[in-house]
Amino acid sequence: MGLSIGLVGLPNVGKSTTFNALTKAQNAEAANYPFCTIEPNKAVVPVPDSRLSELAKIVNPEKIQYSTLDFVDIAGLVKGASKGEGLGNKFLSNIRETEVILHIVRCFADDNIVHTEGNIDPLRDVEIIETELILADVEVLQNRIERLKKQAKADKGAKASLEMAQDLVEFLADGNLARNYPQADSDIYEQLNNEVRFLTNKEIMYGANVDEDGLLEDNEYVKVLVKHAQDNNCEIIKLCAKVEEELVGLDEEEAEEFLTELGVKESGLNQIIQKGFDKLGLMSYFTAGVKEVRAWTIKQNSTAPRAAAVIHNDFEKGFIRAEVIAYDDYIECGGESKSKDAGKMRLEGKEYIVENGDVMHFRFNV
């Protein structure tokens, strides 16, 4: 389940509504690119990218293929999840397999929607979930410490890992996230994380679910959540799950008009997808032909051969060179041949680091 974003949140905060809007909205627009719900709680959704439309205006392809992200609606979280309460073990297993956590937090009051904790308190809600994640990390780290104690008797490297693990478990026990550990950039920590896969080391985005009035101006609930996000170096996205549902099925022009009437520039779902893409350290390069204009997803700082491999492994094995046109040059010149005539096409070798938006064609021999 790599490169996926897990949606978490307490009951009645808008998590499932947000997930359903994500899946339904993208499915409604999926005539020209793949979409599938692989499991009841997992969906593959396209990443909005206006650059593909601009390329298509020039190339006039048969179809457009967008980059995609996996979203997982993670259920079963209640107090005590780290001890197996509710569907706790399943919850923790699912979230461990995701790369980024999207934590939906309710930031509006409505007497018709009961909050399981009795009142609206974003920081308390965040603490409930993050406490369960921390407790789960403490448990697996304590198990690792016991093994390290045995290894440390004969292995100096294990002794250093043991010392950090013991320090880290105290850090976690004080209510801190592993991602905020002062030595989180050290090799020893990285090794521990690879072994333990800390839940609280994952990137976190907070989704502040507000009512329509809250879209225009931050209410008191959003303000405290914003501060918490800033203190923990996390992204925050404001959305109204009810509005996102209403956007389902609208075409691009209708959706833009609807959002304009609300005084909003961009839907919350688009922000979630785009920021999630960035949080995963991903970017897109393009291929453009009459059959299709397509975005290919790669890790940032990928070399040309690694970028070629996402099309087919043979492209990497037999890589000779890449024909590259920067996106802006491609659009300005009006296509491949005119870009080539203008001297904007480059031939790049195996060491070339692909830039976001490059329009590429690979030469290979197998």
Residues 256 and 334 in one domain: no
Angle at the Cα of 115 from the Cα atoms of 85 and 226, rounded to 5 degrees: 95
Residues 213 and 335 in one domain: no
> Higher pLDDT residue, 84 or 112?
112
Nearest residue to 234 (alpha-carbon basis) of 275, 268, 267? 275
Q: Is residue 110 part of a domain?
A: yes
Q: Residues with Cβ < 8 Å from 122, sequence gap 6 or more?
A: 105, 106, 107, 208, 221, 222, 224, 225, 228
Nearest residue to 17 (alpha-carbon basis) of 242, 290, 335? 242
Residues 223 and 75 in one domain: yes
Question: Would you place residue 256 in the very low, low, confident or very high pLDDT band (cuts 50, 70, 90)?
Answer: confident
Q: Is residue 168 part of a domain?
A: yes
CA distance 38 to 234: 29
CA distance 30 to 43: 13
Q: What distance, in Å, lies between the first and last C-alpha atoms of the chain?
A: 31
Q: Which long-range contacts (CB under 8 A, 24 or more apart) does 212-217 make?
A: 212/240, 212/242, 212/243, 212/262, 214/107, 214/108, 214/238, 214/240, 215/240, 215/243, 215/262, 215/263, 215/264, 216/262, 216/263, 216/264
CATH number of the domain residue 142 falls in: 1.10.150.300
What is the extent of the structural domain holding 319? 301-364
Share of the chain above pLDDT 90, in %: 53
Residues 169 and 25 in one domain: no
pLDDT of residue 16: 80
pLDDT of residue 1: 35
Q: Is residue 73 part of a domain?
A: yes
Q: How many domains does the chain have?
A: 3
Q: Residues with Cβ < 8 Å from 341, sequence gap 6 or more?
A: 333
Out of 153, 179, 200, a domain closes at 200
Q: What is the DSSP string of 6-40?
A: EEE--TTSSHHHHHHHHHHHHHHTGGGS--EEEET
Asked if residue 263 lies in contact with residue 246, where contact means CB atoms within 8 angstroms, the answer is no
CATH number of the domain residue 352 falls in: 3.10.20.30
What tokens appear for 209 in the block?
A: 């679910």
pLDDT, average across residues 218-222 = 94
Q: Is residue 42 part of a domain?
A: yes
Per-residue pLDDT at 34 exceeds 60: no
Residues 336 and 221 in one domain: no
Residues 215 and 104 in one domain: yes
SS3 category, 321: strand
295-353 pLDDT, tens digit each: 999 999 999 999 999 999 999 999 999 999 999 999 999 999 999 999 999 999 999 99
Residue type at 11 in one-letter notation: P
pLDDT, average across residues 80-102 = 67
Residues 138 and 274 in one domain: no
Out of 177, 200, 223, a domain closes at 200
pLDDT of residue 41: 76
Identify any residues that bridge with 43 across adjacent strands, giving them in sequence order: 71
CA distance 177 to 56: 44
Q: Is residue 159 part of a domain?
A: yes
Question: Would you place residue 76 in the very low, low, confident or very high pLDDT band (cuts 50, 70, 90)?
Answer: low
Q: What are phi and psi of 149, to 5 degrees?
A: -60, -40
Out of 249, 279, 309, a domain closes at 279
Whose structure tokens read 């909205």? 25
Q: Is residue 123 part of a domain?
A: no
Q: Is residue 317 part of a domain?
A: yes
pLDDT, average across residues 223-239 = 92
Residues 307 and 231 in one domain: no
pLDDT of residue 31: 33
Residues 185 and 212 in one domain: no
Residues 358 and 305 in one domain: yes
Nearest residue to 69 (alpha-carbon basis) of 35, 94, 40? 35
SS3 category, 284: strand
Angle at the Cα of 236 from the Cα atoms of 232 and 240, rounded to 5 degrees: 150
Helix axes 88-96, 122-151, angle to 10 degrees: 80
Residue type at 120 in one-letter notation: I
Per-residue pLDDT at 225 exceeds 70: yes
What tokens appear for 43 in the block?
A: 């969906």
pLDDT, average across residues 169-173 = 95
Residues 84 and 107 in one domain: yes
Residues 112 and 72 in one domain: yes
Q: Is residue 226 part of a domain?
A: yes
Per-residue pLDDT at 90 exceeds 80: no
CATH number of the domain residue 76 falls in: 3.40.50.300
